[in-house]
Amino acid sequence: MPDPSKLLSHKLKPVFRYALVDEVDQDLLARVLFLDGFFTERQPEKQAWRTFRLFGCQPHGALAELLPRLTPATRHLANVEVRILNSLERPIGSYYVAAFEVNAARPSPLGPGLVDVRVSGVLLSQPHPRAEPIWDYFREGGPRTRGEWAGYSPEGREAWLEVVRRHSFRRDEIPGAAASTGAAYRNAAKSVPTVFELDGERVQDPAGLFCALGEAVNGPGGYFGADLNSLRDCLRGGFGVQPPFDLRWKAAEVARARLASAPEVLAASTFEVPYSPADDFIRVLRENRVRVLFE
């Protein structure tokens, strides 16, 4: 979190970066300036209990009613959706926290009427620890050119893939968002054969392969699967294009060799013959009426 004294030295209206809403009825619970301890190192389990802090929290609804009478018996709320807000305070992505509870609260130095709140809950899918600065980039509109993900570290590319996956589910709620990247998302599936171009020169690992595919189909910052299972989901329609279509894969052999030698692939491989994730990637595409053309 930035230094509160520096933040308060600027007489600007605060821009809330997050919102908490009830998962079931979608009632607003809070708008929040900063999260602390949310984007942190993952635990081995997919789902994990985590304590984190809401700095500069503007409580609403059930949370506003709970804070004045906070006790061990009254601190529990329903499952909560943590929404990422853009610079216009509109949602562009979200994470889910089950068994959400409020542990403590105090007045915040970040502004009048704001509180700092310590909360806990079960993260149904733990955020990538490198995702926060990428969300910051997407808050301001995100990528405008292809291949920006390629300049990140392996962990950064994994985080990029997480962000575009969660970002894609919110684009249809933001007027003009799809047009800004040249991509048509959920409500504009194409049913006629089309040709898309995947640039294999930038692919260095499995995360990069799906980053490249997402932007090949849906433009910079686009998403079209994060692994083989989600790729199958995308190929069923609703994510910008529906088979049949052609995928022209430039520098395919370069990408295939890099994928085969990626550390996570070598560590998991039990094959005596060389294996590349590209093989399964191509098989899934072909099984779903995608013609892969190599260059």
Residue 204 CB contacts under 8 Å (≥ 6 apart), including other chains: 150, 154, 157, 258, 262
Cα 84 to chain centroid distance, Å, stands at 9
How sure is the predictor about 181, in pLDDT bands with cuts at 50, 70 and 90? very low
DSSP 25: T
Q: Using CA atoms, how far apart are residues 223 and 213, in angstroms rounded to an integer?
A: 7
State both tokens at 243.
């088979």
> 3-state DSSP call for residue 257?
helix
Whole-number CA gyration radius for the chain:
21
How sure is the predictor about 267, in pLDDT bands with cuts at 50, 70 and 90? low
The mean pLDDT value for 227-256 works out to: 94
DSSP 42: P
Q: Hey, what amino acid is at 65?
A: E
Residue 72 has pLDDT above 90, yes or no: no
DSSP 76: B
Q: What is the pLDDT of residue 149?
A: 97
pTM: 0.85
pLDDT tens digits for range 32-60: 999 999 999 999 998 999 999 999 999 99
Tell me the domains of the chain and their CATH numbers: 4-123 (2.30.110), 133-294 (3.30.370.10)
Report the DSSP beta bridge partners of residue 28: 21
The mean pLDDT value for 142-147 works out to: 95
> 3-state DSSP call for residue 151?
helix
